[in-house]
Amino acid sequence: NHPLDCPVCDQAGECGLQDYSYQYGRGHSRFQEQKVKSPKKDLGDHIYMYSDRCILCTRCVRFTDEVSASKELMVDGRGNKATIDIFPGVPINNPIASNVIDLCPVGSLLDKDFLFAQRVWFLKSTPGIDPLTCSGDNIWVEHNQGKLYRVKPRENAGINTWWITDEVRYGWKFVHAENRLQAPARREHGMMVEASWEAAYKQAIRVIKSNAESGKKTALVVSPMLTTEEGFALVEAIRAIDPSTALFLGPVPIDGEDRSFPNPAAGKPFVMRAEKAPNARGIRRVLEHFGGFKEFGTLVRNIGEFGAVVVTGNYPSDWVTSETQSTLGGKDLVLIDTHETSLCGGASVVLPSATFAEKSGSFENVDHIVQHFDQAIPTQHASKTEGQIAFDLRDLVAGRELSEPFVTGGVQIVDEQPGQVPAASDAVTMIRGELFDDAGVRTAMGAFDAFASYADLERAPEAVLVESDMAMVEL
């Protein structure tokens, strides 16, 4: 009864039934009977079911019985009228429900969020690590032409086995949010105005130095959303400006309690973590290496001791409370963040940074397992990674030029003729400098005992492309 929906089916290109049909199937159908047509069903917040494509393998039913233990799905009916369905009034909305989409071998259970968004053969898969919680779950970040389209689980028997939470699967939308900071800004005559990176950097350095020279301390708040390499580079850069800078760990969000799911095939439960920060342990390791740190709440209570405050954010949503805003609002604030928050209006300098998908580095999870992930897409707008910002500040303090790969001056190609080198209206100026490289920072970190586990960290394996074995024929 399976329909020939391949040209319009979202599963096309990654469908097990397609593979088997090509390898073992006939070129024509022997089916003479009337095919059974079944309606499309809305099973929950994230899942559509195209019932006529279902082959009744019951993988999804077993998942809700054995792994999530929520038992929303069942086989309803008998014979050729049997279908997968939910119990009346009980949608499949458990926290790991969308794993049934990955389990479905055909295009029956489909992701509402990804439906008709992209053909899968256009997508590029980059290995990533859960950027939202401390679990360290392995993921594939799938993207095309600089835009994320979906996140899927990447198998790791020692951590997440085959699953991820719906929170991680759908929590990446902030990467392309409309409130992303798009360019550096600095305060001039009481107003925030857009500035070049160099001008913003120089004002940030002036703010920190002037406070230090007047006897006021500098505070650096390092977010647990940053990679370990970025945290290391940032502390070095700010202490190159003010060696007495005090270190603080940014807020570590906690939402409820950990929740476990049976996952009997793995021999251990799958755990949904309540700690909503991917690298609090890695950042703590960095701050302890540089002489110790205090929690963010201590800074809020003792804010009067500090003149300049450098704050990193990179949280997926607005993390600034009214208390934080009122406390930091009266200080010389250098804000390094991905999205516009209520702190932006009161800052001296705002530097736009990159999200997890726009950088590479390592996170240390709740079990102190260090894992590497790769950059999936280019940095959005004019943002830079926190690591690159740290390197740029360090270069300017040392009297070097900014570390940019190249700077162009409005290049326009004119009078292009076959066989001729095209002329340009403006010259292209190349500025050589050191770019942030997480592997290089890890090598430097490896010289210290505290980072022994980082020295030989292997890169995450790349996606294995499956090439068709179909013979080429002349048309």
Condensed to tens digits (0 to 9), the pLDDT of residues 353-366 reads: 999 999 999 999 99
Average of per-residue pLDDT across 122-151 = 96
Exposed/middle/buried for residue 409 (C-beta within 10 Å: 0-12, 13-18, 19+): exposed
Q: Domain residues of the chain, as ranges?
A: 1-117, 185-455
The pLDDT assigned to 30 comes to: 84
The pLDDT assigned to 474 comes to: 61
315 has a pLDDT exceeding 80:
yes
Average of per-residue pLDDT across 408-423 = 45
Q: What confidence tens digit (pLDDT) does each residue in 74-95 have?
A: 999 888 889 999 988 899 999 9
471 has a pLDDT exceeding 60:
no
Pick the CATH number of 1-117 from 3.20.20.70, 3.30.70.20, 3.40.50.720, 3.30.470.20: 3.30.70.20
The pLDDT assigned to 364 comes to: 96
**How far apart are alpha carbons 19 and 469 in whole angstroms?**
11
**Greater confidence, 37 or 138?**
138
**Greater confidence, 463 or 343?**
343
Contacts of 217 (CB under 8 A, 6+ apart): 211, 244, 245, 246, 305, 306, 307
The pLDDT assigned to 4 comes to: 85
Per DSSP (E only), the strands in 262-373 are 270-272, 294-295, 306-312, 332-337, 349-352, 361-364, 370-373
Exposed/middle/buried for residue 167 (C-beta within 10 Å: 0-12, 13-18, 19+): middle
Q: Which two tokens stand for residue 111?
A: 């992701």
Stretch among 11-20, 323-332, 367-376 having the lowest mean pLDDT? 323-332
CA proximity to 104, closest of 155, 48, 144 = 48
The pLDDT assigned to 110 comes to: 95
Q: What is the DSSP string of 34-54?
A: PPP---EEE-SSSEEEEGGG-
Q: In which band, very low, low, confident or very high, does the pLDDT at 235 lie, cut at 50, 70 and 90?
A: very high
The pLDDT assigned to 422 comes to: 53
**How far apart are alpha carbons 304 and 328 in whole angstroms?**
10
Q: In which band, very low, low, confident or very high, does the pLDDT at 465 lie, cut at 50, 70 and 90?
A: low
Average of per-residue pLDDT across 390-408 = 77
Cβ neighbours around 177 below 10 Å, total: 14
Average of per-residue pLDDT across 44-51 = 94
Average of per-residue pLDDT across 308-327 = 90
Residues paired with residue 141 on neighbouring β-strands, in sequence order: 126, 151
447 has a pLDDT exceeding 70:
yes
Contacts of 106 (CB under 8 A, 6+ apart): 2, 11, 15, 16, 17, 53, 54, 55
The pLDDT assigned to 36 comes to: 83
The pLDDT assigned to 409 comes to: 38
Contacts of 382 (CB under 8 A, 6+ apart): 182, 183, 184, 197, 352
Secondary structure element (H or E) that encloses residue 74, with its range: strand 73-76
Phi first, then psi: give them for residue 50, nearest 5 degrees: -95, 95
The pLDDT assigned to 266 comes to: 87
Q: What confidence tens digit (pLDDT) does each residue in 62-76 have?
A: 999 999 999 999 999
399 has a pLDDT exceeding 50:
yes
**How far apart are alpha carbons 353 and 182 in whole angstroms?**
9
410 has a pLDDT exceeding 80:
no
Single-letter amino acid code for the residue at 206:
R
Q: Which two tokens stand for residue 473?
A: 């024929």
Pick the CATH number of 185-455 from 3.60.21.10, 3.40.50.740, 3.40.228.10, 3.30.70.420: 3.40.50.740
pLDDT, the chain, mean: 89
This prediction has a pTM of 0.88
**Greater confidence, 270 or 421?**
270
Same topology, domains 1-117 and 185-455? Answer is no
